[in-house]
With several copies, the nearest count.
Chain A
Amino acid sequence: MIRLDGVGQVFDGREGRVTALEKIDLHVRGGEFVTLIGRSGCGKSTLLRLIAGLLPPTSGSVQVAEEPVTGPRRDVSFMFQRPALLPWRSVLSNVMLPVEIDKGSDRGKAAYRDRAHQLLELVGLQGFERRLPHELSGGMQQRVSLCRSLIRDPQVMLMDEPFSALDALTRTELSEELQRIKMELATTIVFVTHSIEEAVVLADRVVVLTPRPGRMREVVDIDIPRPRSLAQNAYVTEVAKISARLHALLSEKDSEDRR
């Protein structure tokens, strides 16, 4: 579904260049859930933006659904690290934005509206449909943004730390929902997180990036059966083991790569 070959990204700044990514070769199969971990500033968000077609790579090639990426695609949804809500739109109409924009909707508008209400209820925002973003807490804004990225049942979902501002319970609930969606609709998901546990519980594969410049340190396959839960479950020990390994991988490079 997603294929990156020798992708690199260099930013030109006033104060010199920053190499954000280097030699990224990644192949995500259709319906696969890949989580991306790496230290802050290693290039995770940049990688997602490359896949989304928001940024042309400095080198290498990016393909989605066998086609080279030249710009954003209809079937890819992107949930940004920051909520990015339109300040003049109510919660509901922020969630409905993607539907409004894509005229060739397969379902009727009313159906989408129902879906929006359903999603808002799911994330615990019932009763806030008509509020404006500035009246919401940080976590509530993030949940609105999550609903927005889910409304169109996209083929590919790129999610940049979607749960970072959420409490443990909401996180658990929503990660279960996300797995359900993935399984039901065979959605391909690339998911950035700083929670190693979250990365393990959600992923089919975990990709570990090295610190700046971001290279691929390792790809770890997770074979625990689904559905899995962030809360206590039967595979605690396995999760703990893999988590420890990932933790080690993240730290290791730290000493190795900081020249």
Chain B
Amino acid sequence: MTKRSWLTGSPAAAVILPIIGLAAAIALWWLATVVFSIQPYLLPTPWDVVVKFFDQPGALLSETGTSLLETIEGFLLAIVIGVPIALLIVRSVVLERLVYPLLLMVNSIPKVAIAPLLVVWMGFGQWPKIVMVLLMCFFPIVISTAQGMKSTPTELVELMRSLNATRAQEFFKLRLRYAMPQIFTGFKVAISLAVIGAVIGEFVGATKGLGYVIQQSGASADTTLAFAAIMLLSVMSIVLFYGLVLLEHLLLPWAQEKR
């Protein structure tokens, strides 16, 4: 019975509030550095970070671009690979039982530990980074997609069966559509992991990207530079996340939650 207020209703608020939230977070960070007089070599002030960024905005943005590209490529690859795996898993209990432990095994390997391996196999190019992104983020996609498809109401599954739908139709016309909100939840979890994957990939044998910058900053004990890179990563994550939210709103108008 609540009437929607400006804060919840207007589209402007949907943009302004997150920005206020971020601003508050940054203010808090700044306060922490002042109140606890945290040394800048541990945690620089937001101001330092901004100054550092404007030292060389072009260079940092181009590194961000590199990481962004890897992130998106790996993420898309994870979707292309993960969703069909989820389909197979939901389709066959036997397959699920055979494949899940394998997926879990791959997923539970600490990715930092295998970064050099990937470089040895795939060289210094984009590929080991993209594969790292893929490895980081395919699991949430698989598991959310599978779980979403499994939770399709029996009522609707029976409807499809009664219409003599093929298994493929059952999956594409019903289960996949039904699972969409949960798949998007998976995407939202995966996208941050994808960003981190790109960074980890860039720790080994890279000559560009934000991961390289972070690694690099160690060579000059430049904590502020590292944090500038980390902030850019955060911004990238946040932008990608809200990009997914937007996409969800556009694609799934029927799933707009009620509270």
Contacts and interface: CB of A to CB of B under 8 A. Distances in A.
Direct contact of A and B (CB under 8 A): yes
Interface of A: 14, 49, 52-56, 70-74, 76-78, 80, 82, 84, 86-88, 97-98, 100-102, 132, 134
A101 B163 contact: yes
A49 B164 CA distance: 13
Nearest to A55: B1
Contact of B1 (A54, A86, A101, A134): A54
Nearest to A152: B163
A34 B71 CA distance: 62
Nearest to B158: A54
Specify the main secondary structure of chain A where it touches its partner.
loop
A72 B154 contact: no
Interface in B195-235: none
B154 A134 contact: yes
Interface of B: 1, 3, 154-156, 158-165, 169, 173-174, 177, 252-255
A98 B163 contact: yes
B164 A102 contact: yes
A78 B162 contact: yes
A1 B206 CA distance: 72
Contacts of A54: 1, 158, 161-162
Contacts of B164: 71-74, 101-102
Given A78-B162, A132-B254, A53 B1 contact: yes
Nearest to A74: B164
Contacts of A56: 1, 3
Contacts, number: 60
Contact of A72 (B163, B252, B253): B163
A56 B160 CA distance: 17
B162 A101 contact: no
Given A14-B253, A87-B254, A88-B252, A71 B1 contact: yes
A98 B1 CA distance: 19
17 contacts: A54-B161, A56-B1, A56-B3, A71-B164, A72-B1, A78-B162, A80-B162, A86-B177, A87-B254, A87-B255, A88-B177, A88-B252, A88-B255, A101-B164, A101-B169, A134-B154, A134-B254
A150 B255 CA distance: 28
Contacts of A71: 1, 161, 164
Nearest to B162: A78
B177 A72 contact: no
Nearest to B251: A88
Given A53-B1, A54-B162, 18 more contacts: A14-B253, A49-B158, A55-B1, A71-B1, A73-B164, A74-B164, A77-B162, A77-B163, A78-B159, A80-B155, A80-B158, A84-B158, A88-B255, A97-B163, A101-B173, A102-B164, A132-B254, A134-B154
A98 B154 CA distance: 18
A100 B164 CA distance: 11
Contacts of B253: 14
B156 A84 contact: yes
Nearest to B253: A14
Given A56-B1, A86-B174, A88-B177, A101 B252 contact: no
A88 B248 CA distance: 13
Contact of A84 (B159, B173, B177): B159
Contacts of B162: 52, 54, 72, 76-78, 80
Nearest to A48: B162
Task: List the 3 closest A-B pairs by CB distance, nearest first.
Answer: A78-B162, A88-B254, A71-B1
Contacts of B165: 101
A166 B165 CA distance: 29
**Among A49, A54, A76, which residue has the most Cβ atoms of chain B within 10 A?**
A54
Contact of A100 (B156, B161, B173): B173
Contacts of A49: 158
Contacts of A78: 159, 162
A74 B165 CA distance: 9
